Copies of this chain bind each other. A is one copy, B any other.
Amino acid sequence: MYNKFFFKKRNKVFVQDIYKALKIKKKITENYIINDIKDLSLAEEQDISFLHSSKYKDLACNSKCKTIITLEKFSKLLPKEKNLVIVDNVLLNLAKVVSFFYPDSLNDNFDDKCSKPNKKKYKYVKFGKNVLVGKNVKIGKKSFIGHNTIIESNVVIGNNCNIGSNVILKKTVIGDNVTILDGAVIGKKGYGFYPHEKKNIRYPHIGVVVIGDNVEIGCNNTIDRGSISNTTIGNNTFLDNQVHIAHNIRIGKNCIITAQVGFAGSSVIGDRVSIGGQAGISGHLKIGNNVQIGGGSGVIKNIPDNTKVMGYPAKDIRSFLKENR
């Protein structure tokens, strides 16, 4: 987890503090420290996590996490040793807990720590004109940073990277030999909020964007950082222009993602997946390894390994071609 580099975390949080933050009145038999808020797959015993859909019941049962925010109706599904924080709206209360742990996490203003790069600090980096660099930015050797590019505080860029012009990087960790083309915007908060009639309530986004080695990211791409976990792009995956990647998406290695493809939040894409232009992948799906998705497809179901699909909604490519002869 890289988020400790990017977000200030409150320390010494006790479970009682959580109840207070959520305005829940409850007699506490046992008060103990909560280290952090994480999703069910990453949470350790001392963390707090959440269950908002029965779809993730097994994950919750098998999670090491002791303290789980959930609905009354899910309490029967979970082992008795879990300490359940019962609320009437999981995601809304999750947002409150995240804001409690990370008080600055809702602030997504531009980084006012950015200024001209110190050439002594970055003596093995080649900068274009008008580049802006924040505090504690790390950039590896032989990397190029194009004109007008903005690299916000705490971003990490590896060796031999080639960042284009007019790029914006925030809350992002980038490997070696990565190319990021002109106009890409990486690491802004995801499109996650709780709709409210008067004024929508924004979820805090404490995940970051993690980009592997040898990745290429196309022009004018938008890659949002994760809400609780990270948005990740595996080694040697290439993205074409105008691709949109929402929060929490995890893309594997050696994928080929063609222009104007869009991913809704929280899907997991395997290795060696190729996706044709303008295809769309719905949220919370699992796309297997070696999957091929035809251009323009709309994927609304999980896809097993080694499958070729096409269509809207996407189906086996042979059926699609037969029906459309």
| Residues on A facing B (Cβ under 8 Å) | 108-110, 112, 114-115, 126, 128-130, 132, 144-148, 150, 162, 164-166, 168, 177, 179, 181-183, 185, 188, 191, 193, 195-200, 214, 216, 218-220, 222, 224, 236, 238, 240-242, 244, 246, 254, 256, 258-260, 262, 264, 276-278, 280, 282, 295-296, 298, 300, 311-313, 324
Mostly, the A contact residues are loop
Residues of B within 8 A of A132 (CB): 129-130, 147
Number of this chain's copies in the complex: 3
Contact between A262 and B262, CB atoms less than 8 A apart = no
Our pick among B147, B240, B256, B298 for the contact of A296 (Cβ within 8 Å) is B298
In the bound complex, CA of A183 to CA of B214 (Å) = 26
Given contact pairs A183-B222, A200-B238, A241-B244, enumerate 7 new A-B contacts (beta carbons under 8 Å).
A132-B147, A165-B168, A191-B218, A195-B256, A240-B246, A260-B262, A280-B296
Residues of B within 8 A of A144 (CB): 109-110
Question: What are 15 residue pairs bridging A and B, where the CB atoms are less than 8 Å apart in the complex?
Answer: A110-B146, A110-B164, A165-B168, A183-B185, A183-B222, A185-B219, A193-B238, A199-B236, A200-B214, A222-B241, A222-B259, A241-B244, A244-B277, A259-B264, A264-B276
Residues of B within 8 A of A240 (CB): 191, 244, 246
Q: Which residue of B lies closest to A146 (CB)?
A: B110
Contact between B222 and A220, CB atoms less than 8 A apart = yes
Q: Which residue of B lies closest to A109 (CB)?
A: B144
Residues of B within 8 A of A259 (CB): 191, 222, 244, 246, 262, 264
Q: How far is the CB of A128 from chain B (nearest CB, A)?
A: 5
Q: Which residue of B lies closest to A218 (CB)?
A: B191
Residues of B within 8 A of A150 (CB): 147-148, 165-166
Our pick among B108, B222, B238 for the contact of A242 (Cβ within 8 Å) is B222
Given contacts A114-B147, A264-B277, A313-B324, contact A222 B222 (CB under 8 A): no
